[in-house]
Homo-oligomer: A and B are copies of this chain.
Amino acid sequence: MEEGTSKSPSKRPSTVNHGDADPFQWDTREDCQVRQILDRIADKWSLLVIALLENRRLRFTELRREIDGVSQRMLTVTLRSLERDGLVKRTVHPVVPPRVEYELTSLGRTLHATVQSLVTWTEKHQGEIAAARAAYDSRTADAAEATAP
């Protein structure tokens, strides 16, 4: 598992370079914290895990069953990332067979609350977005049809 460790730390090709006095430092720097957090929660599974753990602590297999599309490997990678960032607490019970439980930390719960505003926004505006997409696609289709009929 090299990517789990390399995912966050190995990201400074110093591409984005703005530099000057700017009211938007938070988004113009490559190592921007916001971007890192967004990358964390917007990846394929993190949000699902956070949402499921919001209710109750769950075991590895329970999470797997709930999400079900996730591969064993990616669930592990996702959980490790969340644990590393202090969003999820991992508890190993020294029994056999092993029993490992995951739960949100208090930090994880505050993140979930914040994400809710995004969820709310999306639910409120998904109609507009769908309409915009449909409009754009039909416009594009028309243009293509007019160009190469």
Contact = CB atoms under 8 A, between A and B. Distances in A.
Nearest to A13: B69
Interface in A90-133: 107, 110-111, 114-115, 117-119, 121-123, 125-126, 128-129, 131-133
Contacts of A62: none
Nearest to A124: B110
B67 A16 contact: yes
Interface residues of A, number: 53
A38 B27 contact: no
Nearest to A42: B42
A33 B132 contact: no
A84 B47 contact: no
Contacts of A34: 47, 118-119, 122-123
Interface in A1-50: 8, 15-18, 24, 26-28, 30, 33-35, 37-39, 41-42, 47-48
Interface of A: 8, 15-18, 24, 26-28, 30, 33-35, 37-39, 41-42, 47-48, 51-52, 66-70, 83-87, 107, 110-111, 114-115, 117-119, 121-123, 125-126, 128-129, 131-133, 135-137
7 contacts: A8-B133, A16-B48, A17-B69, A18-B66, A37-B129, A86-B133, A117-B117
Across the A-B interface, the 5 shortest Cβ-Cβ residue pairs: A86-B132, A15-B69, A42-B42, A16-B69, A38-B42
